[in-house]
């Protein structure tokens, strides 16, 4: 069997580690060509020793020198910075790229992989939220293959007809139902949310994830971003996407067909399942995840999301309706607000206020290329920083 050669962007993170776990189970199938991290050099060093990639990429030149010294003899060349990320995402010897950098920083290297016609395993939802139209046009133009890693979108992909051509109507689809756990604060009295700490927000009941997406799950902005992600991945109109709270995270999402059928993907909540699915697609491989034991699950519950408790979800629908630069502004403002919350400078309930004020402050404009997307991102960040500063002063 010819091995699939991989670049893993964001290898040192939660998705990166799960990817390497699956890859490590199948040495006959996969070969790691490049691994990238940013600040966690010790993790990257251990990964390089284990998987012996040709390249490793870190955030800056000083860190690259450090890592190169510790890796002497391993045979890994250490590079640094955003250009190096794009370089390893588009190497001719690479077949597939796992896009698992968190946030807007993941867009340029993921787009570089798209432009080199790679098979893209997309975890970095922010890239699609920011640049949906531009991104999908490049996927089509460059003949890249896009496979969703986000558990909901991977479930939808598995529940759509094989070879889905981007037309929901002719495929008989009425609606896509995205499930959401509701995060750690689903039942917390709303008046107590003002005081919640970053560690409380990051303590997700079902999934172990990086800190940014954990906060996004607590505000449900994660689901908002996923609605926009679904819009682009499946060419869905906003009214064809519905969010259902399902606290057990066993049903990872569903597709409703016009004949009354509802097709879903179920499993234990472990990201190695969608990762293994996309790595081997259209084949199936062992992911290390145990099969679902229905006698242990016992109950599957569903609730309608409460937009009063989760205003970020409504903000995402608002940005999707506004279109153009609005989703990029939404994403940028969310990143600024979440990082201020994680730093302890912004109260939890202010996250939505920062995003809402930023959307007000940067009117939507058309975006035709990456430059326009990055300009919207910069404007969204600037607007959000001003609002954060105002809230911090008025505390
Ligand atoms: P983590 O925070 O665990 O990992 C993020 C990765 O990105 C790390 O490798 C980190 O490097 C790297 N990184 C951070 N900032 C930069 C930067 N400026 N330039 C280059 N690399 C950078 O996040 P997750 O793994 O949880 O999430 C990754 C992506 O996958 C996100 O977009 C998230 O929304 C998505 N996702 C995650 C899921 C999950 O279960 N975790 C589920 C569905 C989607 P370092 O740590 O070395 O600093
Ligand atoms: Mg998800």
- Per residue in 70-117, pLDDT tens? 999 999 999 999 999 999 999 999 999 999 999 999 999 999 999 999
Q: Which of 66, 97, 102 maximizes ligand 1 atoms within 8 Å of its Cβ, making it the mutation to test the pocket?
A: 102
Q: Which of 8, 10, 219, 374 maximizes ligand 1 atoms within 8 Å of its Cβ, making it the mutation to test the pocket?
A: 10
271 pocket-lining for ligand 1 (C-beta < 6 Å): yes
pLDDT confidence bin for 339, thresholds 50/70/90: very high
- Compute the average pLDDT of residues 369-374: 97
For residues 12 and 41, give the distance between their C-alpha atoms in angstroms, rounded to a whole number.
8
Distance (Å) from CA 93 to ligand 2 centroid: 30
Q: What pTM did the predictor assign?
A: 0.98
Query: 94 near 118, Cβ under 8 Å?
Result: yes
Give the per-residue pLDDT at 206. 87
Give the per-residue pLDDT at 41. 97
207 pocket-lining for ligand 1 (C-beta < 6 Å): yes
267 pocket-lining for ligand 1 (C-beta < 6 Å): no
- As a dihedral over the C-alpha atoms of residue 152, residue 158, residue 164, residue 170, rounded to 10 degrees, the angle is -80
Residues 6+ apart with CB under 8 A from 166: 234, 235
Query: 80 near 61, Cβ under 8 Å?
Result: yes
Give the per-residue pLDDT at 37. 98
pLDDT at 135 over 90: yes
| Averaged pLDDT of the chain | 97
Give the per-residue pLDDT at 14. 97
Ligand nearest to the CA of 123: 1
For ligand 1, atom 31, name the residue with the nearest CA: 102
- Compute the average pLDDT of residues 37-44: 97
Give the per-residue pLDDT at 215. 97
Q: Ligand 1: which atom is nearest the Cα of residue 126?
A: 32
Least confident of 57-61, 151-155, 371-375, 390-394: 390-394
pLDDT confidence bin for 204, thresholds 50/70/90: confident
Give the per-residue pLDDT at 235. 98
Query: 3 near 28, Cβ under 8 Å?
Result: yes
Domains annotated for the chain, with CATH where assigned, are 4-148 (3.40.50.720)
Give the per-residue pLDDT at 138. 98
Residue with tokens 């697609």: 281
272 pocket-lining for ligand 1 (C-beta < 6 Å): no
105 pocket-lining for ligand 1 (C-beta < 6 Å): yes
- Compute the average pLDDT of residues 342-358: 97
């Amino acid at each position: 069997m010819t091995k699939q050669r991989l670049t893993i962007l964001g290898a040192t993170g939660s998705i990166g580690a799960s990817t390497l776990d699956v890859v490590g189970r199948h040495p006959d199938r996969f070969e790691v060509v490049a691994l990238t991290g940013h600040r966690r050099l010790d993790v990257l060093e251990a990964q390089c020793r284990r998987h012996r990639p040709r390249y490793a990429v870190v955030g800056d030149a000083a860190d690259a020198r450090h890592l190169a010294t510790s890796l002497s003899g391993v045979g890994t060349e250490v590079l640094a910075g955003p250009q190096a990320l794009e370089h390893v995402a588009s190497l001719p010897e690479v077949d597939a790229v796992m896009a698992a950098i968190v946030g807007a920083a993941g867009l340029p290297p993921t787009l570089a992989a798209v432009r080199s016609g790679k098979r893209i395993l997309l975890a970095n939802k922010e890239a699609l939220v920011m640049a949906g139209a531009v991104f999908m046009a490049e996927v089509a133009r460059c003949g890249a293959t896009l496979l969703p890693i986000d558990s909901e979108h991977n479930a939808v992909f598995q529940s759509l007809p094989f070879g889905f051509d981007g037309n929901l109507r002719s495929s008989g689809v009425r609606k896509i139902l995205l499930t959401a756990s509701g995060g750690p604060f689903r039942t917390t009295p709303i008046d107590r949310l003002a005081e919640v700490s970053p560690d409380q927000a990051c303590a997700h009941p079902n999934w172990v994830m990086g800190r940014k997406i954990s906060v996004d799950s607590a505000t449900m902005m994660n689901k908002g971003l996923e609605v926009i992600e679904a819009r682009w991945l499946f060419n869905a109109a906003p009214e064809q996407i519905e969010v259902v709270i399902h606290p057990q995270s066993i049903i990872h999402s569903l597709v409703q067909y016009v004949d009354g059928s509802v097709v879903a993907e179920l499993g234990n909540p472990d990201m190695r399942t969608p990762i293994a699915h996309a790595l081997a697609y259209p084949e199936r491989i062992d992911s290390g995840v145990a099969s679902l034991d229905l006698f242990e699950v016992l109950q599957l519950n569903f609730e309608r999301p409460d937009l009063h408790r989760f205003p970020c979800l409504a903000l995402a629908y608002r940005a999707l309706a506004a279109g153009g630069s609005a989703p990029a502004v939404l994403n940028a403002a969310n990143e600024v607000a979440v990082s201020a919350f994680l730093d302890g400078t912004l109260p939890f309930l202010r996250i939505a206020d920062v995003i809402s004020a930023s959307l007000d402050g940067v009117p939507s404009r058309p975006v035709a290329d990456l430059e326009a997307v990055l300009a919207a991102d910069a404007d969204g960040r600037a607007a959000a920083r001003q609002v954060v500063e105002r809230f911090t002063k008025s505390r």
